[in-house]
Amino acid sequence: MSSSLKYLLLINLLLIHFGCSPSSQTIRYGKENKSLANQDSTESGDTLLYDDSDEIAEYLDPDDMPEEKSSYNISDIMKKLEKTDNLNTEQATAREKLLMEIIKYLDTPYKYGGSTLNGIDCSAFTQSVYQDALNVNLNRTARDQFTQGRVIKNKDELEFGDLVFFNTRRRVRPGHVGIYIGDGLFAHASTKGGVMISSLDEDYYSKRYMGARRVVEDDTF
């Protein structure tokens, strides 16, 4: 075998080995995972080697959320609430501010790592809505948001604005988060359908419901 052919084969092997591996598990946050950086060099090139305590990227742990979009319409919900039309930020109540932010994001496509109206993921949706509407700071991931606020043990204790969490992934729990808006409904950024309204009673969500957290005082809404 000629030396040039051997060289080409070596290059191809290197590309196969390194070319499909993302440079960091935490591409979403724009920084390297420190725990991975400290691992032995023999493991650093394998993105499938991590501890449960490490941040696991969603593209390495895909969910199985339903393809179809829910049929619930925000207008049906608004009929039960005071109208938010023509209200400025100072006039609106906390509930109205939160609803207006949710409405703003409805039908926004899902984008892993996204945090804008051009594309957003589930935890960025809850984080952005709470930050922009009420100036409440939430952590960036669903798993970290699950540690915030007061634990709500039972579904019948849910109130408007509570964060609801679901087990939708194999290795990250919780893998999904949304905002409860009453009547058994919640707003969330679904990987398959974008920002939408769904019901906790839907079979898929009912089976995977993990619990809820109240991140603002009871009398806020």
Q: What is the pTM of this model?
A: 0.70
Structural domain range at position 140: 74-214
In a domain, 133, yes or no: yes
Compare 43 and 90 and report the one with higher pLDDT: 90
In a domain, 188, yes or no: yes
CA dist 72 and 205 (Å) reads 15
Q: What is the pLDDT of residue 145?
A: 97
In a domain, 48, yes or no: yes
Same domain, 49 and 78: no
Q: What is the pLDDT of residue 25?
A: 33
Number of domains in the chain: 2
CA dist 29 and 32 (Å) reads 8
Average pLDDT, the chain: 74
Same domain, 29 and 83: no
Same domain, 37 and 122: no
Q: What is the pLDDT of residue 221?
A: 82
Between the CA of residue 153 and those of 91, 159, 215, what are the distances in Å?
33, 12, 14
Cβ-contact 162, 212 below 8 angstroms = yes
Q: What is the pLDDT of residue 74?
A: 66
Same domain, 92 and 181: yes
Cβ-contact 137, 149 below 8 angstroms = no
Cβ-contact 60, 48 below 8 angstroms = yes
Q: What is the pLDDT of residue 217?
A: 80
In a domain, 62, yes or no: no
From the list 141, 107, 130, 189, the residue with the least C-alpha distance to 29 is 141
- Residue 146, both tokens: 């699950």
Between the CA of residue 127 and those of 67, 94, 124, 193, what are the distances in Å?
24, 16, 5, 19
Catalytic residue ranges: 122, 176, 188
Same domain, 45 and 121: no
In a domain, 150, yes or no: yes
From the list 61, 99, 69, 59, the residue with the least C-alpha distance to 204 is 69
Same domain, 130 and 210: yes
Q: Quick check: helix, strand or coil at residue 120?
A: strand
CA dist 77 and 112 (Å) reads 28
Same domain, 114 and 204: yes
In a domain, 63, yes or no: no
CA dist 121 and 89 (Å) reads 25
Residue 157 half-sphere exposure toward CB, CA atoms < 13 A = 10
What's the pLDDT tens digit per position in 15-36? 333 333 333 333 343 333 333 2
Same domain, 190 and 98: yes
CA-based angle 182:184:189, to the nearest 5?
Answer: 85
Instruction: Give the rounded distance of the alpha carbon of 136 from its chain centre.
Output: 17
Cβ-contact 163, 149 below 8 angstroms = yes
CA dist 49 and 47 (Å) reads 5
